[in-house]
Amino acid sequence: MSSTKIFKGDIVFTTTPERFTLIENGFIVVVNGKVDNVYTVLPETYKNFQITDYSNKLIIPGMNDLHCHASQFKHLGMAMDKELIPWLNDYTFPEESRFKDTEYSKRIYGKFIKEIWKQGTTRIALFATVHKNSSMDLIELFINSGLGAFVGKVNMDTNCPPYICETLESSLEDTEEMIIKYKDRSSLVKPIITPRFVPSCSSELLKGLGELSIKYNVPVQSHLSENRNEIAWVKELFPALKYYGDVYNKFNLFGQTPTLMAHCSFSSDEEIALMKENNVMAVHCPSSNLNVGSGMMPIRKFLDNNIRLGFGSDISGGHTCSIFKTMVYAIQVSKLFWANSNKEISFLSNPEAFYIATKGGGSFFGKVGSFEKDYEFDALIIDDSNLNYANYTLEQRLERFIYVGDDRHILHRYVSGNLIEEPKGIA
C-alpha cells in the first residue's frame, strides 16, 4: 500500500554546492519514504491530506558521517597529546582490544548510537574493531535503531600488538561470515570491508579483502595519506608502489567497489587523479586532523578536481559526533589555506559545506541528502526559535544554527520517511 506524508516548514537543502534551495513555509510530499515533490503552495490534490506541521521550524536533510570509529567512543575528547602512530599504539589499540568482551562493547556501542542520533546523524560509515561478535552486535543495534549505517569489522594482521592482531585466515573468514550474514538483511544497514590502513595489513590480507569486495560486491573504507610519518612507513613497506593509494588500488580496494578514503591530507596530484578515475570518495575529518596534529586537507583541490567528498567525525581522533560542528571546522581549516595562499585558494562557502555534509556524503548511501524527487526522506526538524531574530533570513537562521546551535535544537529525525526515536540499545 502506498503511503503519503506531507511536511510543512522552512525548507533548506542543496542540489549543487553553489547555492541553497530555500523555501519558506513550504511543503514536502513524501511517498513511500521518498520525496515526491517540494512546493511553495500545496496543490489542490492534497487538500484532504493530513499535514505534519513544522511551521517556523527548519526542515533540512539529515547529516551523513562518512568516517567514524564507534569503538573509540569512550576516548571522546581525551588523549590528544600524541601523533597518529604513537596515539594508536598507546591509547587506541588498548581501548579497542576491550571489545573482545561483548558485554563491554554493547555498553559502549549503545551509548555511541544514542549520541549520533542526538547529534542529527542519520547515516554513518563506521569502523568497529577486529572482533567479529561485537561488530555483529553493532550491526544489530543499527538495524534496531532505524538509522542507516555501513559497519566494518576492522582487519589488521601485522604491525600491531599481539592482543589486537588477527591471523590472516581468521581475518578473512570472520569478514566473509559477516558479509554473508548481513549483506541482504537490511536495506539501511550493511557491512563494509575495512582494512584499517596499509601498515596494519599484510599483502595477503589486502589481496583477500579485495577479492571479497568483488565477490560479494561490498564497499570498502580505509585511511589514506593522513600523516607524514604514516605515509613514509607505507613507502617503506611497499617501495615498488608509486604512492599510498596505489597500494589499495593494486589489491582492488580503491574504487573497484564503492570506496571511502578518510583524510587525504597529503595526497599527491597522482593520487588525486586516481581517486577521480576510480570514483573514490575522499572523507574530510578536520576535527581529527587538528587534534591528532596530522595536517590540513586541501579541500579546495578536491572540489576543483571534482572528487566526491563527504565529512567524517573520525571519533576519537575527532572530539565531536556533530557533523554541524565538523562543517564549521572544515570552513575554518579552509580559511587557513585562504589566508596562507594570499587569498588565492578560496575558502569553503556555507552551501559548499552543507552540500558535502548532505548530498555529497549522502551519495554513498544511495539517493540520500537532498529533497529532490526520489531522494530518501532523511530529515532533521530544527527548532531554532531561541537562536533566531525576526529579521533573519532563512539562510542566516541555518548558518547560526550550524555555528552556535546544538542537539537541543533538533526536535525530530527522519530516515527514509520514518520518524526515528531515541535508540534503546540492545539487551
- The CB-of-265 to Fe ion minimum distance in angstroms stands at 12
Q: DSSP labels for 203-229?
A: HHHHHHHHHHHHHHT--EEEEES-SHH
- The CB-of-135 to ligand GUN minimum distance in angstroms stands at 15
Rounded Cα distance between 282 and 23, Å, is 31
* Contacting positions for Fe ion (CB under 5 A): 314
Q: Which among 209, 95, 107 is positioned nearest to 163, based on CA atoms?
A: 95
Q: Is-cis flag, bond preceding 170, omega within 30?
A: no
Select 127 or 302, whichever has its Cβ closest to ligand GUN: 127
- The CB-of-321 to Fe ion minimum distance in angstroms stands at 13
In angstroms, what CA-CA distances link 330 with 287, 304, 312?
8, 16, 10
Residue count of the chain, please give it.
427
- The CB-of-71 to Fe ion minimum distance in angstroms stands at 11
Taking a C-beta distance cutoff of 8 angstroms, is the pair 33, 249 a contact? no
CA within 13 Å, CB half, 391: 0
Per partner kind, with CB cut-offs from 5 to 8 A, the member of Fe ion, ligand GUN, none near residue 92 is ligand GUN
- The CB-of-57 to ligand GUN minimum distance in angstroms stands at 35
Q: What are phi and psi of 61, to 5 degrees?
A: -65, 155
Taking a C-beta distance cutoff of 8 angstroms, is the pair 397, 388 a contact? yes
Select 122 or 227, whichever has its Cβ closest to ligand GUN: 227
Per partner kind, with CB cut-offs from 5 to 8 A, the member of ligand GUN, Fe ion, none near residue 119 is none
Select 134 or 288, whichever has its Cβ closest to ligand GUN: 288
Question: Do the strands 19-31 and 4-16 form a parallel or antiparallel pair, or are they unpaired?
Answer: antiparallel
Output the CA angle 342-267-206, nearest 5 degrees. 165
- The CB-of-317 to Fe ion minimum distance in angstroms stands at 6
Per partner kind, with CB cut-offs from 5 to 8 A, the member of ligand GUN, Fe ion, none near residue 95 is none
- The CB-of-124 to Fe ion minimum distance in angstroms stands at 13
In angstroms, what CA-CA distances link 170 with 41, 110, 182?
59, 26, 18
Per partner kind, with CB cut-offs from 5 to 8 A, the member of Fe ion, ligand GUN, none near residue 8 is none
Q: Which among 44, 155, 148, 170 is positioned nearest to 96, based on CA atoms?
A: 155
Per partner kind, with CB cut-offs from 5 to 8 A, the member of ligand GUN, Fe ion, none near residue 115 is none
Rounded Cα distance between 113 and 124, Å, is 10
Q: Which residue is at the shortest CB distance from ligand GUN?
A: 317
Question: Do the strands 148-152 and 121-127 form a parallel or antiparallel pair, or are they unpaired?
Answer: parallel
Rounded Cα distance between 239 and 98, Å, is 34
Select 145 or 222, whichever has its Cβ closest to ligand GUN: 222
* Contacting positions for ligand GUN (CB under 6 A): 69, 84, 88, 92, 196-197, 223, 226, 288, 292, 314, 317
Select 285 or 348, whichever has its Cβ closest to Fe ion: 285
Rounded Cα distance between 92 and 317, Å, is 9
DSSP letter assigned to residue 341: T
Per partner kind, with CB cut-offs from 5 to 8 A, the member of ligand GUN, Fe ion, none near residue 88 is ligand GUN
- The CB-of-223 to ligand GUN minimum distance in angstroms stands at 4
Select 92 or 257, whichever has its Cβ closest to ligand GUN: 92
Q: Supply 415's cell numbers.
A: 530516515
Per partner kind, with CB cut-offs from 5 to 8 A, the member of Fe ion, ligand GUN, none near residue 153 is none
Per partner kind, with CB cut-offs from 5 to 8 A, the member of Fe ion, ligand GUN, none near residue 148 is none
Select 30 or 70, whichever has its Cβ closest to ligand GUN: 70
Per partner kind, with CB cut-offs from 5 to 8 A, the member of Fe ion, ligand GUN, none near residue 197 is ligand GUN
Select 99 or 371, whichever has its Cβ closest to Fe ion: 99
Taking a C-beta distance cutoff of 8 angstroms, is the pair 154, 171 a contact? no
- The CB-of-199 to ligand GUN minimum distance in angstroms stands at 8
Select 128 or 218, whichever has its Cβ closest to ligand GUN: 128
